[in-house]
């Protein structure tokens, strides 16, 4: 059972992600999605939807249908409570393991926002094959994630107060995390230590390896860095060492062909 304190923390976090266009780590995502996609009339699968912030955002801002999928019961319970609070009828949430219980529906878009880095790579490869099978021909998969060289890739830099802390000796880093450990909302990853240990250290090459053989082809890539916040550098992609360590998030669009 989730505690009332963690439930309220989850509700507040997910609702901010839903309602605020400039919500911390999602403002670049939202701006890019608005620029690149018209989701009106589309059937969207939000895979690894978490507590539903982005699923609700799609449902509110476009005339589309959204199916949010996650394996975490706590996350989906919060997503459903927010759905009912905001009276959005064009989104549904479900606890489901895609590999154990395959989908029969076909979708126009699959969104994978900040989820790919949490899935073991062999399983991620199977998931991309399954998602490809659930896409209409020409359908798209949009993947966003912080690459392992990102200052925020550890998911715990905010509690240890050290960007790029994933490159510390692991024994030292784990002691720092344990010293600042606390419960988090998830059922699958229930504290900061398990959240860090669950990361697959995702990079672009590893992602492409996981997608290989799925029938999905890359058609767009954006590597967002701090320098993109400067207006005349907003289109700059830093993919070479050592400036690639300034990349905070990768955005990759795949198409079923």
Domain range summary for the chain, segments of one domain joined by +:
4-149+200-256, 157-192
Length of the chain: 257
What average pLDDT values come out for the chain (257 residues) when binned by 10 residues?
92 96 90 96 98 98 98 97 98 97 97 97 98 97 98 95 97 97 93 97 98 98 90 86 94 97
List 249's β-bridge partners, or say none. Answer: 224
Tell me, which fold does domain 4-149+200-256 have in CATH?
Answer: Rossmann fold (3.40.50)
Work out the number of other CB atoms within 10 angstroms of the CB of residue 206: 17
* DSSP state letters, 158-212: HHHT-TTGGGS-HHHHHHHHHHT--B-S-SSS-BHHHHHHT-----HHHHHHHHT
The answer, as to whether pTM is greater than 0.85, is yes
CA 15, 18, 20, 25 torsion-angle sign: positive
pLDDT (0 to 100) of residue 34: 96
pLDDT (0 to 100) of residue 1: 77
CB 228 within 8 A of CB 27: no
* Distance in Å from the first CA to the final CA of the chain: 43
Angle at 191 (CA atoms; ends 161, 50), nearest 5 degrees: 100
């Amino acid at each position: 059972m989730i505690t009332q304190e963690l439930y309220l923390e989850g509700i507040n976090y997910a609702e901010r992600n839903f309602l605020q266009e400039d919500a911390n780590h999602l403002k670049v995502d939202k701006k890019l999605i608005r620029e690149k996609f018209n989701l009106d009339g589309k059937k969207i699968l939000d895979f690894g939807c978490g507590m539903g912030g982005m699923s609700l955002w799609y449902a509110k801002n476009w005339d589309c249908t959204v199916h949010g999928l996650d394996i975490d019961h706590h996350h989906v319970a919060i997503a459903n409570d927010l759905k009912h609070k905001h009276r959005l009828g064009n989104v549904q949430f479900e606890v489901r393991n895609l590999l154990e219980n395959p989908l029969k529906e076909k979708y126009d878009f699959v969104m994978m926002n900040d989820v790919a880095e949490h899935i073991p790579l062999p399983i991620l490869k199977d998931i991309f094959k399954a998602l490809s099978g659930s896409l209409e021909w020409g359908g798209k998969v949009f993947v966003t994630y912080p690459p392992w060289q990102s200052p925020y890739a550890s998911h715990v830099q905010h509690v240890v107060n050290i960007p790029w802390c994933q490159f510390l000796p692991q024994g030292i880093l784990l002691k720092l995390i344990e010293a600042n450990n606390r419960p988090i909302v998830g059922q699958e990853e229930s504290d900061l230590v398990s959240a860090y240990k669950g990361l697959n250290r995702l990079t672009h090459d590893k992602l492409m390896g996981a997608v290989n053989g799925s029938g999905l082809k890359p058609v767009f890539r954006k590597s967002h860095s701090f320098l993109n916040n400067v207006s005349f550098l907003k289109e700059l992609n830093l993919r070479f060492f050592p400036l690639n360590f300034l990349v905070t998030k990768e955005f990759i669009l795949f198409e079923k062909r």
